[in-house]
Amino acid sequence: MTVAAAEPKNGGGGGLKREMGLMSAINVIISVMIGSGIFVSPTAALRYSGSVGFCLVVWTVCGGISLLGALCFAELGTVVPRSGAEYAYLIEAFKKSHSFWGPLPSFICAWVYVMILRPAEIAVIILTFAEYSILPFRHLLGLEYMSAEDLHLLIKLIGILGLGIITYINLSSVKLYVTINNVFGFCKVFACLVVIFGGVYQLAIGNTENLAGGFQGTNTSPGHIALAFYNGLWAYDGWSSVTTITEEIKKPEVNIPRSIMIAVPIITGLYVFMNLAYMTVLSMGEMIASEAVGIDFGDRALGSFSFLIPLGVALATFGCALSIQFGVTRLCYVASQEGQMLEPLSYIHVRRATPAPAVAMQGALALAFILVGNIETLIEFASFLIWFFYGAAVVALLALRRTQPDVHRPYKVPLIVPYITLAVSIFLSVVPVISDPSPKYLFAVAFILSGVLVYTPFVYYKVRPGWINKLTFLIQVLFEVVPSSNKLD
């Protein structure tokens, strides 16, 4: 929906700045991958694996598979040096193949991520932040005496406040985001280490009873094994996050592969040893039945320091929501440059070098999801598409190897790796539909078709309503933004 831009009053242009080094890139991956899941509900993989031994194998192998997928994106990030991750790779690989069908996959990717999936995820994560941020103060605030309705309202209000803070940070400056994200990244890794060292202490004093079973009871059913890996791999989602912000990474051809090779193994180690720690004090049955494994572990193993677990969840979720919003606004930015979204979404603040309209839009969408509620259902019907788009990006990698064989590739992944990643992505796209056939997947198809209905007139035929120019001018004046000077063809 490209429109003619109003002339910036200062006559200049703006652009994203490369302000993020290797450590910041590592922290982006850590922030998105480590959310509340590893503290709250790492139980599905255990339930389907059937034994503590095989469960730890599942977590380890899932980390390895995630690293393979991330390495595919590392190559793509050096071949297509644009923000937007899978969106950028799909548009680069296929837009010239057919005038209608070529750009359509990238548009559907942006449509799902920008309009539903990412803002809904942010809403759920920020509400989790609100819930766990008040737990350490539950006695001080008298939460046990509150009605369920009042507690729900309090959590929603704190969530809205948290959403406002992360939106303000991402509006203000990339440097502010980097500083805060680095601090939160350190704090959430520290919280993970508290759990791990708590488990080490339990092992040192001889609490090995729950681990004695080893591989006894392992499920050998292919269906259960598939679901164990399915749930484990979902917990690792977020490994592509650094390629969403390629244009703001210093020396991306070096720092993107390095950040992936450092961050994903670190997170794999944290996840495996945290599960081992949980198993030192919680039996299989207790872990599977627990609503918040980390909280139960803290109550039993950490004594007066148990407050560190809800605090860790709050820090993890806040940093995760902050980084997801940061990343999806860059997808908006690139899709707008391609004419697949409103042009002002690629405009940059004249002083702060942030895509302010894109950030504001994502904040407004997440707020709408918080107010409406039933967000989990929205995520369920759209989230199985994440691995579909990962697979599509791997197809783009293979296509670019064929169509652009002479392009310099500072990092080139072995050919077997994209084929393994493609097989995993097909598996993860199909398993939820087969294991739980539900009308929600029809809603996903309906949402995709609605995207085609938007794409056909506004992107393919470039229909421009008369009010678009007035809206563009209003956005420029309101947000003090100008067209990006690093717009790519």
- Using pLDDT thresholds of 50, 70 and 90, give the confidence band for residue 197: very high
Task: Output b/e per residue, 96-105; b: 16+ Cβ within 10 A.
Answer: eeeeeeebbb
Task: Output b/e per residue, 66-77; b: 16+ Cβ within 10 A.
Answer: bbbbbbbbbbbb
For 155, the domain range is 22-91+127-328+374-431
Mean predicted confidence (pLDDT) in 213-236: 84
Do residues 234 and 431 make contact, with C-beta atoms less than 8 angstroms apart?
A: no
Mean predicted confidence (pLDDT) in 212-236: 84
Structural domain count, the chain: 1
* pLDDT > 70? residue 366: yes
Q: Is residue 257 part of a domain?
A: yes
Q: Is residue 15 part of a domain?
A: no
The Cα–Cα gap between 360 and 481 comes to 12
pLDDT digits (tens, 9 = 90+) for 445-460: 888 899 999 999 999 9
* pLDDT > 60? residue 240: yes
The Cα–Cα gap between 377 and 56 comes to 29
Tokens of 40: 């709250």
Instruction: Kindly report the length of the chain.
Output: 489
- Using pLDDT thresholds of 50, 70 and 90, give the confidence band for residue 4: very low
Q: Which residues pair with 279 in a beta bridge?
A: none
Q: Is residue 444 part of a domain?
A: no
pTM for the model stands at 0.90
pLDDT digits (tens, 9 = 90+) for 85-99: 999 999 999 999 999
- Using pLDDT thresholds of 50, 70 and 90, give the confidence band for residue 225: confident
Which of 342, 349, 356, 364 is closest to 472 using CA atoms?
Answer: 342
Q: Is residue 414 part of a domain?
A: yes
Q: What is the pLDDT of residue 485?
A: 66
Q: Which residues pair with 481 in a beta bridge?
A: 349
Q: Is residue 478 part of a domain?
A: no
**Treating both helix axes as pointing N-terminal to C-terminal, what angle do 308-337 and 22-33 enclose, rounded to 10 degrees?**
110
Q: Is residue 111 part of a domain?
A: no
Residue 158 burial (10 A CB sphere; 0-12, 13-18, 19+): middle
User: The domain spanning residue 156 has which CATH number?
Assistant: 1.20.1740.10
Q: Regarding predicted confidence, which is higher, 292 or 179?
A: 179
Which of 38, 484, 474 is closest to 276 using CA atoms?
Answer: 38
Q: Is residue 203 part of a domain?
A: yes
Q: Is residue 255 part of a domain?
A: yes
Q: Regarding predicted confidence, which is higher, 72 or 231?
A: 72
